[in-house]
Amino acid sequence: MNLDPWSRPTRHDLEQVLAAIEHDDDGVNLREAERLELSVPAEIVTSRGNTIAAMTREISRTGIGLLHRGSVSSGEVTIRMASETRQFEYRVLLEWCTPCSNGMFMSGGRFLRKSAVAG
């Protein structure tokens, strides 16, 4: 068991949280853009420079959903994701953050602009 309260949630953690909230879904999709499931490691960098390990939950052309340990305040943040060959950074307006099971939090926001792509 990982004792670090700020460690990155695992894919298993994500699956458990999604299974726990699945029964609340009434099948109504009120979102403007189609969402795609995406479970990759990410980092949230707050306006104060704090880095929080996260996992992505879903992504669309307009926004992103995340799972992490610890609450994150609403506001502008940088989201970092990387593949084997490239790193992606996105400016996101984090619009909500809510607690869920196992001491984790789900958050979501919309993309403001793409900051940088390093390769």
Domain ranges of the chain: 11-19+33-118
Please name the amino acid found at residue 55: M
The pTM of the full predicted model, rounded to 2 decimals, is 0.72
CB-based burial label for 63 (10 Å; 0-12, 13-18, 19+):
buried
Assess contact for 88 and 81: CB atoms under 8 A: yes
Q: Are 112 and 94 in contact (CB under 8 A)?
A: no
Asked if the model's pLDDT at residue 7 lies above 70, the reply is yes
CATH architecture classification, 11-19+33-118: Beta Barrel (2.40)
Spatial distance between the Cα atoms of 35 and 108, rounded to a whole number of angstroms: 12
pLDDT category, 9, cuts 50, 70, 90? Answer: confident
Q: What angle do CA 33, 38, 41 make, to 5 degrees?
A: 130
- 105: helix, coil or strand? strand
Whether residue 17 is predicted with pLDDT greater than 90 in this model: the reply is no
Task: Report the pLDDT value the prediction gives residue 66, as an integer from 0 to 100.
Answer: 95
